[in-house]
């Protein structure tokens, strides 16, 4: 038995060797990849937060780094705060769209110096309360917060316990809504949707069925290209703390406008990687971002294909970003 199996094994080995040898004659047609840039780039790890606009930032920068700079790009899919964490412990190089986060800025940039600001993305962030377009048309005065109480009963749902419902989204988003409702004495209850999907789907339902909805939302967001949500104006934001107190419990003004910025880990900034220069130069508009996001979310393109399409159409802007790499 043992003898026979050994003979078999030998036979198999010989056949295998022959087969390998024969097929080797054909030669290989897989080309080794080489980088085209002068400087070596190496690894470039982009944190990817879970909203479509961020995908647009990440893949546009990532595709450029991969194709023009020869970087080994990886996309690290994380929520916002864990991304800061990951930058601090060196597993991520950059965050391409940061929304404020004063506490983390103080901890990681000011105190520990492990993270650096890499300038603005050019995107203007707006956070606020929105209603679907049909409501703004039918009730034009609803866009002023002073009239919200008048309409409160319309916004009643099974979740809001007799008051009007103000729908909030993902728990990771910046929100002052509890304090706003209280301090502006609005007869509303903040109901937590729990995710961005819940918000967008609720707006779709509301517009389609002409049901009332008041919800937290933000720009830049690809969804605006599908539906022009209408902003409800709260008391205008002012940087004067006497007019608009900043303590969490006393907030009574609309959200401040955000200039979204990019962050890099200090280690990455000092590495001399051409990808760092690219990140610093990266600067575009809300419309640019929304266009890429629409390719992804509505046209069903892959993130990379959407980014490539936009890059091909905006060569001159892209060339500016690549200067000095």
Partner 1 sequence: MTATPTVVEPPVTREEQPHVAEPTRRPVWLLLLGIVVIWGIGYAIFHGRDTLATPFVQLNGVQHWINGIRDDIQAAGQTNWFFHGVIGNISDFANWLITQLQNLLSHPAPGLPVPQIGWLGVTAIFAWCAYAAAGLRSMILVLVATQLFGVLGYWQDSIDMVIITVLAVVVSMVCAIPTGIAMARRSWVSAAITPILDAMQTMPSFAYIPFFFILFGPGAACAIVLTVVYSIPPLVRITEHGIRSVDPSTQEAATSLGSTRRQLLRKVQLPMARRTIVLGINQCTLAALSMAVIAGYINGPGLGSDVLQGLTNLNVGQGAVPGLLIVVIAIALDRTTTAASQRSENRGRGHGELSPRLRRIVLGAGLVVVLIAVYASHNYIQAAQFPSGLDIGNHVADGINSVSDSIVDALGGICNAFKNVISYGFLNPLQNLLADTPWWLMAPVLLAVSWVIGGVRPFITTLVCEGVIFGMGLWNDTMITLTTTIVATVLVMILAVVIGVWIGRNRRADAVLRPILDGFQTIPSFVYLVPALALFSSSRFTAIVAATAYAAPIAIKLVADGIRGVSPTTVEAARSSGITSWQMILKVQLPMARSSLALAANQGLLYVLSMVVIGGMVGAGSLGYFVISGFVQQPLFGKGLAAGIAITALGILLDRTARAAAERSRT
Residue from 6, 40, 77, 233 touching partner 1 (CB under 8 A): that is 77
What span, in angstroms and rounded, lies between the C-alpha atoms of 288 and 318? 12
Q: Which segment (57-65, 84-92, 117-125, 266-274) binds partner 1 by CB under 8 A?
A: 84-92
Question: Measuring CA to CA, how many Å separate 19 from each of 16, 23, 25, 163?
Answer: 5, 6, 10, 77
Site for partner 1 in 219-278 (CB under 8 A): 248
Q: Nearer Cβ to partner 1, position 5 or 316?
A: 5
Q: For strand 164-168 and strand 188-192, is the pairing parallel, antiparallel, or unpaired?
A: parallel
204 binds partner 1 (CB under 8 A): yes
Q: Nearer Cβ to partner 1, position 96 or 200?
A: 200
Number of C-beta neighbours around residue 77 at 10 A: 12
Minimum Å gap between C-beta 314 and partner 1 is 22
Residue from 82, 100, 119, 133 touching partner 1 (CB under 8 A): that is 82
Q: Nearer Cβ to partner 1, position 164 or 321?
A: 164
Minimum Å gap between C-beta 178 and partner 1 is 7
What span, in angstroms and rounded, lies between the C-alpha atoms of 112 and 105? 10
How many residues at the interface with partner 1, by CB under 8 A? 68
The pattern of x and - marking residues 291 through 320 that bind partner 1 according to CB under 8 A reads -----xx--x--x-----------------
Q: Nearer Cβ to partner 1, position 85 or 314?
A: 85
Site for partner 1 in 2-61 (CB under 8 A): 4-5, 8-9, 11-12, 15-16, 19-20, 23-24, 26-33, 50-52, 55
Q: Nearer Cβ to partner 1, position 119 or 245?
A: 245
Residue from 39, 67, 85, 225 touching partner 1 (CB under 8 A): that is 85
Helix 303-313 vs helix 315-322: angle between axes, to the nearest 10 degrees?
100
Site for partner 1 in 135-194 (CB under 8 A): 157-159, 161, 167, 170-172, 178, 191-194
Residue from 93, 196, 207, 254 touching partner 1 (CB under 8 A): that is 196
Interface positions with partner 1 (CB under 8 A)? 4-5, 8-9, 11-12, 15-16, 19-20, 23-24, 26-33, 50-52, 55, 72, 76-82, 85-86, 89, 91-92, 103-104, 157-159, 161, 167, 170-172, 178, 191-202, 204-205, 209, 248, 296-297, 300, 303
């Amino acid at each position: 038995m043992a003898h026979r199996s050994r003979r078999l094994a030998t036979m198999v080995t010989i056949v295998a060797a022959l087969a390998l040898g024969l097929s080797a004659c054909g030669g290989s047609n897989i080309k080794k990849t080489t980088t085209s840039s002068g400087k070596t780039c190496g690894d470039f790890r982009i944190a990817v937060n879970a909203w479509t606009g961020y995908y647009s930032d990440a893949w546009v920068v990532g595709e450029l780094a991969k194709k023009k700079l020869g970087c080994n790009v990886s996309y690290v899919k994380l929520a916002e705060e864990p991304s800061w964490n990951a930058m601090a412990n060196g597993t991520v190089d950059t965050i391409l769209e940061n929304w404020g986060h004063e506490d983390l800025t103080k901890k990681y940039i000011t105190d520990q110096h492990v993270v650096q600001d890499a300038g603005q993305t050019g995107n203007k962030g707006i956070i606020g309360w929105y209603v679907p377009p049909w409501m703004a048309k039918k009730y034009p005065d609803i866009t002023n917060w002073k009239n919200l109480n008048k309409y409160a009963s319309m916004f009643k749902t099974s979740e809001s316990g007799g008051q009007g419902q103000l729908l909030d989204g993902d728990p990771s988003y910046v929100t002052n809504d509890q304090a706003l409702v209280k301090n502006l004495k609005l007869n509303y209850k903040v109901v937590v949707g729990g995710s961005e999907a819940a918000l967008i789907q609720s707006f779709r339902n509301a517009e389609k069925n002409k049901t009332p909805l008041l919800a937290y939302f933000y720009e830049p967001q690809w969804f605006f290209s599908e539906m022009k949500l209408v902003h409800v104006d709260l008391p205008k934001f002012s940087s004067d703390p006497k007019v608009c107190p900043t303590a969490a419990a006393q907030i009574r003004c609309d959200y401040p406008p955000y200039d979204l910025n990019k962050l890099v880990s200090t280690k990455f900034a000092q590495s001399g990687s051409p990808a760092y220069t690219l990140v610093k130069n990266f600067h575009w508009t809300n419309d640019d971002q929304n266009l890429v996001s629409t390719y992804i979310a509505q046209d069903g393109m892959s993130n990379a294909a959407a980014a490539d399409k936009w890059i091909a159409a905006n060569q001159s802007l892209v060339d500016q970003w690549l200067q000095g790499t």
